[in-house]
Amino acid sequence: MNGEDLRSRILYQDANLLIVDKPAGLAVHGGPRTTVHVEGMLPALSLGYRHPPRLAHRLDRDTSGCLVLARHAKALSRLGRLFGAGRIEKVYWAVVQGTPNGEHGRVELPLRKVTSRDGWRIEGTTSGQAAVTDWLRLGGADGMTWLELRPHTGRTHQIRVHCASGLQCPILGDPVYAPPSERPLHLLARAVSVPYWADRPPVQVVAPPPPHMEAALRACGWVP
């Protein structure tokens, strides 16, 4: 994956925003062991602007789908306020192991980060930060369930922990919160709705399922 590849995955662009379909396995930020990442590819997304776009939020490395970028400083500030106020609606798809109770519901499980010699993870605990996720069953088969998830807060690993601990249905392929598996993480940032202008309709963008999720989604009833 390089900047040209990422440019081919632009889902939406205007004078203020870019929304790209981030592939699973590509980190958003760089680090000592992460030399290939979205931040390093942003110059390829300048598209005639003097400065490259900037990240307005983040997705986990293994999550694919809608990633919002700001094309200039004023847009970054506006998006920051919208994300902070919870006014940007995010919709995720996940294929999970097992079947939750009911057809829909809400998980209200506070979360906190726990660090040990083996690294860190997020745990549900009453002493954590408030975290709320609505869920809807879209289909299922063969011990799997296809869920639509709408987070109302933006905590790290929120959806992954809410599925694993709140619903007792870990996401397929989750390397931290599910039993060991050779499958990639089956989590997609499916859609985003950005009310950038108060007097105009929101920008609404949908990302396609990544190839590694298609078989499980089809088994659960998804029709392309």
| Percent of the chain surpassing pLDDT 90 | 90
pTM of the model: 0.95
**Neighbouring-strand partners of residue 112:** 123
Q: Where are the beta strands (DSSP E) in 40-88?
A: 54-55, 64-70
User: If DSSP codes are grouped into helix, strand and coil, which group holds residue 181?
Assistant: coil
The size of the chain, in residues, is 224
In the chain the domains, ranked by start, together with CATH numbers, are: 3-219 (3.30.2350.10)
- List of residues 6+ apart from 108 with CB closer than 8 A: 130, 131, 132
Residue 22 identity: K
The span from the first CA to the last CA of the chain, in angstroms, equals: 25
Which two structure tokens, joined as six digits, stand for 204?
């609404």
Q: What is the pLDDT of residue 33?
A: 83
Mean pLDDT of 30-40: 88
**Whether the predicted pLDDT of 181 surpasses 90:** no
Distance from chain centroid for Cα 201: 23
User: If DSSP codes are grouped into helix, strand and coil, which group holds residue 77?
Assistant: helix
CA distances from 58 to 73, 145, 154, 155, 189 (A): 17, 26, 10, 11, 11
Are 213 and 90 in contact, with CB atoms under 8 Å apart?
A: no
- Among candidate residues 21, 60, 62, 174, the one labeled active-site is 60
Confidence of residue 30 (pLDDT cuts 50, 70, 90): confident
d(CA 121, CA 116) in angstroms, rounded, equals 9
Q: What is the pLDDT of residue 189?
A: 98
- List of residues 6+ apart from 221 with CB closer than 8 A: 138, 139, 140, 141, 146
Q: What is the pLDDT of residue 190?
A: 98
Please indicate whether residue 60 is annotated as part of the active site.
Answer: yes
**Whether the predicted pLDDT of 193 surpasses 90:** yes
Which two structure tokens, joined as six digits, stand for 19?
């929304």
